[in-house]
Amino acid sequence: MFKALIINQAEDNSISANVEEVSEDQLPQDGEVDISVEYSTVNYKDGLCLNGLGRLVKTYPHVPGVDFAGSVITSSDDRYKPGDKVIMHGWRGGEIRWGGYATRANEKADWLTPLPKGLSSFEAMCLGTAGFTAMLAIKRLEDDGMSPESGEILVTGAGGGVGSVATILLASKGYKVAAMTGRAEVADYLIGLGASRIVTREEMLNDPGKVLESSIWGGCIDSVGGALMGRILKQLNYGAGLASLGNAAGVELSGNIMPFLLRGVNVFGIDSVACPMEKRAEIWQALAVEMPKSSISQMVKEIGLAELPAYGKQILEGQVRGRIVVDVNK
Ligand SMILES: NC(=O)c1ccc[n+]([C@@H]2O[C@H](COP(=O)([O-])OP(=O)(O)OC[C@H]3O[C@@H](n4cnc5c(N)ncnc54)[C@H](OP(=O)(O)O)[C@@H]3O)[C@@H](O)[C@H]2O)c1
C-alpha cells in the first residue's frame, strides 16, 4: 500500500480530494522506473488539476502533482539503479498521468532528470517547475545578449513561484530587479529576495495608450501575459527581450508592432513541459550552482498531502507567496 491524494469527479462534475491508502497494483505502470517520492510542489497548473479546471485531467480517479523528487526503487532501464535520486517534471505528468502527490510513482526513464550534485530532493522541489522555468527564461534572454548592463529587469507576478525564483536568481547575478506585484503585502518580502524596487500592478495596468513609451526595461520575465504584456513591450529598451512564460492575467496578446519595428525588441516563448532532456539537465545543473541556497527558506512553505486542496484554491486566487513544497510522507 502507498499514500496518495486521490481526486475524483462526481456526476455533477464537482471534484473531491482525499488522502487515501492505495494498493500498489492500482499504480499505473507506464514506465520502467518505480520511484519512492519524497517531495512534490504546488504550481498554478496543480491548482487547475486539483479543482478540475482547464481540461487537464482526462480520467478519474487521478493523482495530481506536476513535479516531484525522490529515489529509485527499481528500474528495468540501465540508466537508473535503486537509490538514484531523480527529478520528474513536465511531460504532462500529474495531468494525463498520475503525478507526485503520492509516496510512489512510476515513470519512463526518458522523462527523468538525475538530481544534480549540490541539490537535495527538498531543495529541488523548493525550485520545482517554477524555478526551472525561471532559469530557462533567464538563460534564453541571456543567450540573446541580456546582461546586468542591459538595464533594469522587470519581473511580473513577482510574488508567485516563478516570479520569486526569478527575482532571487537575477539579483544574485548582479541584475537590478523591478518586481511587479498586485499585493502590497508582499513588497517587503520581494525586497528581501533582492528586488531593488516594487512596481505596482495598478500602475502598469494604467496604460496611456501610446504606440511607444519611454524605454525602461533591459528585459522582462513575464508570468502574467494578457493586456500587460503589450504595454511592457512598449517600454523595453532597444534590442531587449521579453520571456513569455505564463498567463496568470490571461491569454490575449494586445498592443502593436512598433516596438518590434522601431526598437528591435524580441519575445521569447518559454516551455518547460516538453523541454528537451539535454536542456533540462543543463538548466538543473545551473540551478544547483547558481541558486543561492540561503534564499530558499525565505520563499518556501512546507505542507503535507492533506493541505493540498486548500493551497490548490489559494494559488488560483493569486494568494500563494513564493513556493509551496509538499512533504508527501507527512
Ligand atoms: N511556460 C511554462 O512552462 C510554465 C511553467 C511554470 C509556470 N507557468 C505559468 O506561469 C505562471 C506563473 O506560475 P507560478 O507557478 O509562479 O504561479 P503563481 O505562484 O500563482 O504566481 C502567479 C502570480 O501572478 C500574479 N497574478 C495572479 N493573477 C494575476 C492577474 N490577474 N493579473 C496580474 N498578475 C496576476 C500574482 O503575483 P502578484 O500577486 O505578486 O502580482 C501571482 O502570485 C502561470 O500562468 C503558470 O501557468 C508556465
Most informative mutation of 224, 251, 300, 317 for ligand 1 (most atoms within 8 A of CB):
224
CATH number for 57: 3.90.180.10
Give residue-wise pLDDT tens across range 79-103: 999 999 999 999 999 999 999 999 9
Give residue-wise pLDDT tens across range 39-57: 999 999 999 999 999 899 9
Q: Is the CB of 161 under 6 A from ligand 1?
A: yes
* Grid coordinates of 179: 518586481
Q: How far is CA 161 from the centre of its chain?
A: 6
Rg of the chain, C-alpha, whole Å:
20
pLDDT over 90 at 30, yes or no:
no
Most informative mutation of 40, 42, 44, 50 for ligand 1 (most atoms within 8 A of CB):
44
Number of domains in the chain: 2
Task: Tell me whether residue 315 is in a domain.
Answer: yes
pLDDT over 90 at 227, yes or no:
no
Please name the residue that has the C-alpha cell 550534485.
117
Same domain, 230 and 141: yes
Q: Is the CB of 182 under 6 A from ligand 1?
A: yes
Give residue-wise pLDDT tens across range 164-191: 999 999 999 999 999 999 999 999 999 9
Same domain, 77 and 6: yes
Task: Tell me whether residue 283 is in a domain.
Answer: no
Give residue-wise pLDDT tens across range 237-284: 999 999 999 998 889 988 899 999 999 999 999 999 999 999 999 999
Q: Is the CB of 244 under 6 A from ligand 1?
A: no
247 Cα–ligand 1 center, Å: 7
In terms of residue numbers, what domain contains 38? 2-115+292-327
Same domain, 134 and 111: no
Q: Is the CB of 42 under 6 A from ligand 1?
A: no
Task: Tell me whether residue 185 is in a domain.
Answer: yes
Give residue-wise pLDDT tens across range 283-329: 999 999 999 999 999 999 999 999 999 999 999 998 999 999 999 99
Atom of ligand 1 lying closest to residue 271 CA? 3
Same domain, 146 and 232: yes
Same domain, 69 and 102: yes
Residue nearest to atom 9 of ligand 1 (CA): 246
Give residue-wise pLDDT tens across range 108-154: 999 999 999 999 999 999 999 999 999 999 999 999 999 999 999 99
Predicted pLDDT at 254: 85
Same domain, 248 and 134: yes
Residue nearest to atom 19 of ligand 1 (CA): 160
Predicted pLDDT at 120: 97
51 Cα–ligand 1 center, Å: 17
Q: Is the CB of 129 under 6 A from ligand 1?
A: yes
Same domain, 157 and 265: yes
Task: Tell me whether residue 122 is in a domain.
Answer: no
Q: Is the CB of 135 under 6 A from ligand 1?
A: no
Same domain, 108 and 39: yes
Predicted pLDDT at 76: 97
Task: Tell me whether residue 142 is in a domain.
Answer: yes
Predicted pLDDT at 101: 98
Task: Tell me whether residue 245 is in a domain.
Answer: yes
Q: Is the CB of 26 under 6 A from ligand 1?
A: no
327 Cα–ligand 1 center, Å: 22
Residue nearest to atom 21 of ligand 1 (CA): 160
Same domain, 163 and 107: no
Same domain, 143 and 82: no
Same domain, 146 and 191: yes
If you average pLDDT over every residue of the chain, what do you get? 96
Predicted pLDDT at 263: 98
Q: Is the CB of 45 under 6 A from ligand 1?
A: yes
Residue nearest to atom 6 of ligand 1 (CA): 130
What would the 3-class secondary structure string for the chain be? CEEEEEEEECCCCCEEEEEEEECHHHCCCCCCEEEEEEEEEECHHHHHHHCCCCCCCCCCCECCCCEEEEEEEEECCCCCCCCCEEEEECCCECCCECCCCECEEEECHHHEEECCCCCCHHHHHHHHHHHHHHHHHHHHHHHCCCCHHHCEEEECCCCCHHHHHHHHHHHHCCCCEEEEECCHHHHHHHHHHCCCEEEEHHHHHCCCCCCCCCCCEEEEEECCEHHHHHHHHHHECCCCEEEECCCCCEEEECCCCHHHHHHCCEEEECCCCCCCHHHHHHHHHHHHHHCCHHHHHHHEEEECHHHHHHHHHHHHCCCCCCEEEEECCC
pLDDT over 90 at 31, yes or no:
yes
Give residue-wise pLDDT tens across range 195-204: 999 999 999 9
Cα 260 to Cα 257: distance, rounded to the nearest angstrom: 5
Q: What is the pTM of this model?
A: 0.96
CATH number for 205: 3.40.50.720
Residue 102: φ, ψ to 5°: -160, 160
Task: Tell me whether residue 22 is in a domain.
Answer: yes
44 Cα–ligand 1 center, Å: 7
